[in-house]
């Protein structure tokens, strides 16, 4: 034992004597022990072979640094032992820290890698780093740990996610919580659980009234949540639903083509209204029924007394006369056939057999029956999975789209599109031309910037929070958008195809069908602006400002581009126009409208055969070209505008004075009255318009054939 070690043992014995009841007056033990420790550590002789075991070396190694305090006999650490990075003081020595942690050395504690961080180099001497963040369009495959990074995988085709770190990919139906789907007529409507508002999406003429609250809803009629009475709203082709001739509370609403049926709550008798050319509204027996269904000009019901099926209306394809005998609990009428579920749960169908619609029914007990056109679907009793059969039992949209393997609360069916309500209130849609109400959360709850585009029944907007592109609606090219999802966008355009420029690298990506070569984007070229038309597209090259066009040429619209530098461009039917960078003047090419006005412009928008622009100084509107529907002559004169959008023969602007929208041309009211509120950006798509509200940057749309944000 070395001298230092011997001294320390002696000091320990001294302390034990004090603490064990020995006499230690006037803190003498403390004082003597303290002096002895100083002597042992700092000045005591050591044996020649003591090496690092003498007390001085022990202090250097951080193994001891004690003082006698307060006469109490306790030995405490007075100061940090000075451990090296990657080690931490443990009782009597500096010990290596564990993998998956960080130790700064000195007197710092060992800190585990947590809260989304990990030990990227297996070296606890270096700080933990943040785990990889999975962006929108990807999901988390493995969340990682303190010693492993998070891993991400791309969402499959037809699904998406909103990052960061989405736990799963969903189809567009996941997000907003709903409480019911339509029984018939159109699957693209639902009752929102939070406020019982009627939310519809896809191709609709007129939306449910915003002031109404519903317990059930379909595309043209609903049941009021307040009192159970039915309410219907008029579309452009048909006013037969308004006014509803009954104020009786009802349930189980079904829509035919020009009539509707439900069950009266008071006595369970059927209640139908609308067109009655084939007795479809008046022919059901006035007796209690367990179920009703309507489609086209046919109505069916299940009598309560004997559980039989009775059908009335136009007996096309045997839907009325071939109703089977037996006892039943559900019925659903399609366009060419009808189906019912017997009291034992088995499914039977009758009428015209298109692709197995009346012969390929699933075996076993089912519920939640729906039928439309040439297809039918039901939910299996065993697991609530949906099963579809008929002309297109997979409800495909060109490539086979399998029915989702999920348990549904209820389903809704229309032609080759279906939607299902999950137990958490979210909606999953599949099939042809189905676009669900949300991607994540409702689009109307998000804030948008000034980049907004619309076409047909589709809108695309750039979100203010992250500059990511958000598209929704009734557009066949929407499923092809993956190259631009989850990344900031600098510019976007829509026509028959969509194109967007990514902010990060100014690369242009186009999606949709490539019938005319619009998707054949020049490789390796950076763009600042882009526009598309039916058969060609053009962009402004970065940083030169030159114009590049591609697609199919008919009138010099691809090859006849002007030379020089330009800041903005717009495309019409077989022509293009652009604003010169040098003086703001306009140059056009292809089959362009003439004459082009002089002056300096800050913005251009082309319709089918005309162009409108905003004056660079006064911000007033000037239009030229064909004056179909007053698209040129009806432009408001002498009024400063904040934004301009032209599509086909309809134009819309936002007035600078009050931020209200004004539209003119073929659809001056864009189908219905323009909302009387302030806007910051607007997009016209002929009979559709969408705008960003000034009060909160949220989106609203109005007009014909549109998807409905609220």
Confidence class for position 46, pLDDT limits 50, 70, 90: very low
3-state class (DSSP) for residue 55: helix
pLDDT tens figures, 83-136: 999 999 888 889 999 999 999 998 889 999 887 899 999 999 999 998 998 876
Cα radius of gyration rounded to whole Å, the chain: 37
Q: Is the dihedral of CA 334, 336, 342, 344 positive or negative?
A: negative
3-state class (DSSP) for residue 319: coil
3-state class (DSSP) for residue 597: coil
Sheet arrangement for strand 417-422: 408-414, 417-422, 427-431
Taking residue 11's Cβ as centre, other Cβ atoms within 10 Å add up to 22
% of residues, the chain, pLDDT over 70: 74
Residue 25: burial class (beta carbons within 10 Å; 0-12, 13-18, 19+): exposed
Residue 63 has what pLDDT? 36
Q: For 546, phi and psi rounded to 5 degrees?
A: -75, 160
Confidence class for position 547, pLDDT limits 50, 70, 90: very high
Are 194-431 and 470-655 equal in CATH topology?
Answer: yes
pLDDT tens figures, 489-520: 888 888 878 899 999 899 998 887 787 999 99
Tokens linked to 419: 């939607």
Residue 195 has what pLDDT? 79
Check whether 321 has a pLDDT greater than 70. Answer: yes
Residue 215 has what pLDDT? 93
Check whether 206 has a pLDDT greater than 90. Answer: no
Residue 325 has what pLDDT? 95
Q: Is the distance from CB of 204 to CB of 219 less than 8 angstroms?
A: yes
Gap between the Cα atoms of 607 and 686, Å rounded: 9
Residue 15 has what pLDDT? 41
Closest CA to 643 of 607, 613, 685: 613
The pLDDT of 426-439, averaged and rounded, is 54
Give residue for tokens 């999920």: 406
Give residue for tokens 């958008």: 481
3-state class (DSSP) for residue 60: helix
48's CB contacts (< 8 A; 6+ apart) are none
Check whether 19 has a pLDDT greater than 90. Answer: no
Residue 184 has what pLDDT? 65
Specify the CATH class of 470-655 in words.
Answer: mainly beta
The pLDDT of 234-260, averaged and rounded, is 74
Gap between the Cα atoms of 306 and 304, Å rounded: 6
Check whether 22 has a pLDDT greater than 60. Answer: no
Helices (H), 335-461: none
28's CB contacts (< 8 A; 6+ apart) are none
3-state class (DSSP) for residue 595: coil
Residue 251 has what pLDDT? 95
**Mean pLDDT of all residues in the chain?**
79
Give residue for tokens 């043209």: 220
Confidence class for position 49, pLDDT limits 50, 70, 90: very low
Q: Torsion over CA of 265, 266, 268 and 273, rounded to 10 degrees? A: -70
Residue 53 has what pLDDT? 38
Confidence class for position 162, pLDDT limits 50, 70, 90: low
Domain locations along the chain: 3-52+69-76, 94-130, 194-431, 470-655
Residue 374 has what pLDDT? 82
**Range with the poorest average pLDDT among 291-305, 351-365, 435-449, 505-519:** 435-449
Q: Is 222 or 182 the better-scoring residue by pLDDT?
A: 222
Taking residue 77's Cβ as centre, other Cβ atoms within 10 Å add up to 12
Q: For 343, phi and psi rounded to 5 degrees?
A: -65, -20
DSSP state of 6: H
Tokens linked to 525: 């070229």
The pLDDT of 197-217, averaged and rounded, is 73
Check whether 317 has a pLDDT greater than 50. Answer: yes
Confidence class for position 72, pLDDT limits 50, 70, 90: very low
For residue 668, CA distances in Å to 98, 547, 665 come to 71, 33, 5
% of residues, the chain, pLDDT over 90: 42
Residue 416 has what pLDDT? 66
Residue 173 has what pLDDT? 39
Closest CA to 590 of 546, 645, 538, 543: 538
Gap between the Cα atoms of 322 and 166, Å rounded: 51
Residue 462: burial class (beta carbons within 10 Å; 0-12, 13-18, 19+): buried
Residue 463 has what pLDDT? 82
The pLDDT of 33-54, averaged and rounded, is 41
Q: Torsion over CA of 240, 241, 245 and 248, rounded to 10 degrees? A: 160
Gap between the Cα atoms of 532 and 636, Å rounded: 26
Tokens linked to 88: 């931490």
Q: Is the distance from CB of 15 to CB of 22 less than 8 angstroms?
A: no
Q: State pTM to two decimals.
A: 0.49
Residue 408 has what pLDDT? 93
Q: Name the β-bridge partners of 491.
A: 501
Check whether 483 has a pLDDT greater than 90. Answer: no
Q: What is the 3-state secondary structure (H, E, C) of 8-53?
A: HHHHHHHHHHHHCCCCCHHHHHHHHHHHHHHHHHHHCCCCCCCHHH
3-state class (DSSP) for residue 260: strand
pLDDT tens figures, 372-396: 878 899 999 999 999 988 876 655 4
For residue 495, CA distances in Å to 395, 489, 502, 561, 663 come to 26, 18, 18, 20, 20
pLDDT tens figures, 435-464: 433 322 334 456 778 887 777 666 788 888
Closest CA to 500 of 514, 522, 485: 485
Q: Is 201 or 132 the better-scoring residue by pLDDT?
A: 132
DSSP string, 529-594: EEEE-SSEEEEEETTT--EEEEE--SSSTTT-PPPS-EEEEEEETTEEEEEETTT--EEEEES--S
Residue 197 has what pLDDT? 80
Gap between the Cα atoms of 669 and 691, Å rounded: 14
Taking residue 396's Cβ as centre, other Cβ atoms within 10 Å add up to 14
Residue 456 has what pLDDT? 63
Sheet arrangement for strand 610-615: 601-606, 610-615, 621-625
Specify the CATH class of 194-431 in words.
Answer: mainly beta
């Amino acid at each position: 034992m070395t001298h230092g070690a011997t001294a320390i043992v002696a000091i320990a014995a001294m302390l034990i004597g004090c603490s064990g009841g020995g006499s230690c007056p006037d803190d003498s033990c403390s004082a003597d022990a303290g002096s002895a420790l100083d002597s042992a550590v700092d000045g005591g002789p050591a044996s020649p072979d003591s090496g690092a075991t003498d007390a001085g070396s022990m202090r250097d190694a951080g193994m001891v640094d004690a003082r006698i305090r307060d006469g109490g006999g306790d030995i405490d650490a007075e100061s940090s032992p000075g451990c090296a990075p990657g080690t931490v003081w443990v009782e009597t020595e500096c010990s290596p820290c564990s993998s998956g942690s960080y130790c700064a050395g000195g007197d710092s504690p060992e800190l585990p890698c947590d809260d989304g961080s990990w030990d990227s180099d297996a070296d606890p001497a270096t700080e933990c780093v943040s785990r990889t963040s999975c962006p929108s369009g990807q999901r988390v495959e493995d969340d990682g740990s303190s010693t492993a990074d998070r891993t991400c995988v791309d969402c499959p085709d037809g699904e998406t996610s909103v990052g960061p770190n989405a736990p799963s990919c969903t189809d567009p139906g996941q997000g907003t919580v709903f409480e019911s789907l339509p029984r018939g007529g159109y699957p693209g409507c639902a009752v929102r659980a939070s406020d019982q508002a009627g939310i519809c999406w896809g191709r609709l003429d007129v939306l449910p009234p915003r002031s109404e609250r519903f317990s059930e809803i379909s595309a043209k009629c609903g049941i009021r949540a307040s009192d159970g009475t039915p309410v219907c709203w008029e579309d452009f082709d048909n006013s037969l639903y308004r006014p509803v001739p009954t104020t009786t509370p009802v349930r189980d609403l079904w829509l035919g083509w020009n009539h509707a049926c439900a069950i009266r709550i008071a006595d369970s008798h059927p209640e139908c209204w609308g067109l009655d050319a084939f007795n479809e509204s008046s022919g059901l027996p006035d007796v209690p029924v367990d179920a009703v269904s309507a489609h086209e000009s046919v109505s069916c019901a299940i009598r309560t007394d004997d559980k039989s099926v009775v059908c009335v209306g136009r007996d096309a394809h045997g839907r009325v006369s071939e109703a089977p005998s037996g006892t039943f609990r559900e019925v659903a009428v399609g366009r060419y056939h009808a189906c019912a579920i017997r009291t034992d749960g088995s499914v039977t169908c009758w009428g015209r057999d298109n692709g197995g619609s009346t012969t390929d029914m699933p075996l076993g007990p089912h519920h939640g029956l729906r039928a439309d056109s040439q297809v039918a679907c039901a939910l299996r009793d065993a697991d609530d999975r949906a099963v579809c059969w008929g002309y297109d039992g997979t409800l495909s949209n060109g490539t086979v789209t399998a029915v989702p393997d999920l348990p549904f609360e209820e389903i809704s069916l229309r032609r080759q599109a279906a939607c299902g309500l999950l137990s958490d209130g979210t909606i999953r849609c599949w099939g042809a031309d189905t676009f669900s109400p949300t991607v994540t959360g409702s689009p109307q709850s998000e804030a948008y910037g000034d980049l907004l585009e619309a076409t047909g029944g589709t809108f695309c907007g750039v979100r203010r929070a992250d500059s990511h592109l958000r598209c929704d609606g009734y557009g066949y090219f929407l499923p092809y958008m993956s190259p631009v999802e989850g990344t900031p966008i600098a510019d976007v355009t829509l026509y028959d195809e969509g194109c967007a420029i990514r902010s990060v690298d100014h690369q242009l990506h186009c999606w949709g069908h490539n019938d005319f070569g619009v998707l054949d984007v020049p490789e390796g070229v950076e763009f600042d602006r882009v526009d598309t038309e039916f058969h060609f597209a053009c962009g402004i090259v970065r940083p030169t400002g030159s114009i590049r066009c591609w697609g199919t040429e008919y009138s010099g619209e691809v090859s006849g581009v002007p030379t020089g530098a330009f800041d903005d461009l717009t495309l019409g039917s077989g022509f293009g126009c652009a604003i010169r960078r040098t003086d703001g003047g306009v140059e056009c090419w292809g089959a362009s409208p003439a004459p082009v006005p002089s002056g300096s412009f800050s913005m251009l928008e082309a319709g089918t055969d005309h162009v409108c622009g905003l004056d660079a100084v006064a911000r007033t509107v000037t239009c030229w070209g064909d004056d179909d529907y007053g698209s040129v002559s009806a432009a408001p004169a002498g009024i400063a505008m904040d934004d301009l959008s032209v599509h086909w023969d309809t134009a819309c602007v936002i007035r600078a004075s009050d931020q209200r929208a004004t539209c003119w041309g073929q659809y001056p009211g864009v189908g219905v009255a323009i909302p009387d509120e302030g806007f910051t950006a607007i997009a016209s798509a002929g009979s559709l318009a969408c705008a960003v509200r000034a009060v909160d940057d949220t989106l609203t749309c109005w007009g014909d054939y549109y998807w409905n944000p609220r």
